[in-house]
């Protein structure tokens, strides 16, 4: 019975995901596409949960649906012009070629996926126990955190580099021509309604607590720097939209420091392990957990601030109140 | 059919829809959406692969997808910043060769 319910659920999930993806592409209005894409992201979070990937479910809900959605919608506010799907209908041949290309891509993808699934599973519990023993040596109980910050720490280190590059790249694109109006993201142009203050006052401490919890729990359960950073970034987006954070044309030394802190602390930890005669980022026995914790705290802040700055579209942010537009 | 196989099929369908969107919709924000759909298809494949053994779950694909989600949002934000810049400079939201004449 339980299994049947699971299959029905998975089937409905599959149908919804595919139909939503099709509507995202086919919808005539850009706004509808963006909103449906956010819904698609939320359903992806459910799919991750179904696939026993709670880390990803948390990250997808906060980043994939939340931050990406906010970025898309704030872009939509500025770019309202959409091209109609077909000013003149495409030639039949062009249309057929596109469908053919898509079908080919999907077919190759499915074949590769089938090949991947038919790779032989490492035999029995022995391999699992071996892996668990390795994870235990890192001082964290959670396998995904162990992979991210120990076994494949290079990936995470370079990912911080990519995040920093994205911020710098976005800066370079935006700085070339600053927006005409001062504060285009603030939604309270006429001043706060009574609900806004109460809502922000209630949500802000809660979000900080949730982020702190996610960061701490990452050592032994679903959570960690990525999820915590994304949740903190959501707080930044909320405060930016309600005018509690104002954009700055330049980032102060402190914010620049936070931007590079994750990369710097991570690299420093790697150099320290090298100085003691180990491989890069091969933590010494017994010190692995404290080192991972310090790195994770730095990563959380260095993930949250770039995401907020990317949303804000400004070089820096400061606490303050947006002024009423004249 | 096993659960991973079902999700691989969804992944292939979502990927194919993304490819079609990329080819058929020249508006740049739509292209970014289509690319994100393709990325989500790849993520689904990796996580379905992590579940091929029902007893233990392979954490390595999970960690890779977690990294991938953060990279995807960075790349999306960067791409959207470029689109905004293009719009401010030219008032266009598609590339020259794709514009209706």
What's B13's domain CATH number? 1.10.287.3510
- Taking an 8 Å cut-off on Cβ atoms, the answer to whether A63 and B73 are in contact is yes
- The number of domains in chain A is 3
Same domain membership, residue A106 and residue A19: no
- Taking an 8 Å cut-off on Cβ atoms, the answer to whether A114 and B5 are in contact is yes
The answer to whether the Cα torsion of A86, A87, A88, A91 is positive or negative is: negative
Same domain membership, residue A309 and residue A207: yes
pLDDT digits (tens, 9 = 90+) for B4-38: 889 999 999 999 999 999 998 888 999 999 999 99
- The number of domains in chain B is 1
**Residue A235 pLDDT:** 93
Q: How many Cβ atoms sit within 10 Å of the Cβ of residue A101?
A: 16
**Complex prediction ipTM:** 0.94
User: Which domain covers residue A114, as residue numbers?
Assistant: 89-118
Q: Are strands A316-319 and A245-248 parallel, antiparallel or unpaired?
A: antiparallel
Same domain membership, residue A309 and residue A265: yes
Same domain membership, residue A65 and residue A23: yes
**Residue A105 pLDDT:** 93
Which residues make Cβ contacts (< 8 Å) with residue A139, sequence separation at least 6? Answer: A286, A288, A289, A292
Q: Which two tokens stand for residue A94?
A: 């062009």
pLDDT digits (tens, 9 = 90+) for B39-58: 999 999 999 988 887 777 78
Residues in chain B with CB shorter than 8 Å from the CB of A103 are 16
Q: Which two tokens stand for residue A221?
A: 């359960």
**Of B69, B83, B1, B65, residue with least CA distance to B36:** B69
Same domain membership, residue A26 and residue A173: no
Same domain membership, residue A213 and residue A183: yes
**Residue A222 pLDDT:** 83
- Taking an 8 Å cut-off on Cβ atoms, the answer to whether B12 and A107 are in contact is yes
**Residue A188 pLDDT:** 65
Percentage of chain B lying above the pLDDT 90 cut: 52
Same domain membership, residue A209 and residue A167: yes
Nearest chain A residue to B80, by CA: A75
- Taking an 8 Å cut-off on Cβ atoms, the answer to whether B14 and A21 are in contact is yes
Stretches where chain A sits below pLDDT 50 are 180-181, 326
> Cα separation of A135 and A270, whole Å?
19
Q: Does A197 touch chain B (CB under 8 A)?
A: no
Out of B33, B73, B88, whose CB is closest to A177? B88
User: Which domain covers residue B26, as residue numbers?
Assistant: 3-98
**Residue A2 pLDDT:** 75
Interface test with B, best of A41, A101, A118, A170 (most B CBs within 10 A): A170
Q: What confidence category does residue B74 fall into, taking pLDDT thresholds of 50, 70 and 90?
A: very high
């Amino acid at each position: 019975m339980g299994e049947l319910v699971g299959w029905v659920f998975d089937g409905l999930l599959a149908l919804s995901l595919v139909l939503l993806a099709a509507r995202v592409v086919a919808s005539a209005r850009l706004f509808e596409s963006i909103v449906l894409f956010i819904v698609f992201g939320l359903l992806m979070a459910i799919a991750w949960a179904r696939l026993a990937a709670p880390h990803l479910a948390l990250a997808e809900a906060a980043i994939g649906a939340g931050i990406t959605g906010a970025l898309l919608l704030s872009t939509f506010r500025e770019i309202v012009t959409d091209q109609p799907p077909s000013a003149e209908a495409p030639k039949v041949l062009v249309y057929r070629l596109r469908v053919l290309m898509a079908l080919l891509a999907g077919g190759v993808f499915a074949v590769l996926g089938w090949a991947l699934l038919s790779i032989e599973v490492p035999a029995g519990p022995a391999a699992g126990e071996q892996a668990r023993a390795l994870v235990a040596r890192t001082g964290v109980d959670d396998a995904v955190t162990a992979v991210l910050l120990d076994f494949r720490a290079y990936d995470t280190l370079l990912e911080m580099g990519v995040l920093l590059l994205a911020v710098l790249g976005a800066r370079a694109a935006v700085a070339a021509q600053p927006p005409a109006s001062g504060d285009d993201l603030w939604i309270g142009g006429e001043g706060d309604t009574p609900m806004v203050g109460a809502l922000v006052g209630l949500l802000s401490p809660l979000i900080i607590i949730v982020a702190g919890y996610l960061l701490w729990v990452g050592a032994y359960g679903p959570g960690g720097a990525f999820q915590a950073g994304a949740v903190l970034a959501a707080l930044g987006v909320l405060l930016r939209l309600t005018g509690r954070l104002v954009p700055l044309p330049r980032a102060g030394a402190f914010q620049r420091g936070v931007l590079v802190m994750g990369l710097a602390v991570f690299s420093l930890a790697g150099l320290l392990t090298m100085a003691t005669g180990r491989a890069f980022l091969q933590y010494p026995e017994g010190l692995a957990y404290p080192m991972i914790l310090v790195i994770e705290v730095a990563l959380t802040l260095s993930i949250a601030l770039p995401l907020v700055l990317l949303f804000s579209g400004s070089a820096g942010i400061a606490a303050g109140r947006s002024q009423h537009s004249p | 059919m096993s659960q991973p196989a079902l999700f691989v099929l969804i992944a292939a369908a979502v990927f194919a829809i993304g490819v079609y969107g990329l080819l058929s919709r020249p508006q740049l924000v739509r292209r970014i959406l289509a690319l994100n759909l393709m990325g989500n298809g790849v993520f689904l494949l990796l996580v379905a692969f992590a579940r091929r053994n029902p007893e233990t779950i392979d954490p390595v694909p999970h960690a890779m997808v977690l990294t991938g989600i953060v990279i995807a949002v960075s790349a999306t934000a960067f791409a959207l910043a470029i689109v905004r810049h293009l719009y401010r400079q030219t008032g266009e939201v598609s590339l020259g060769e794709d514009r209706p004449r």
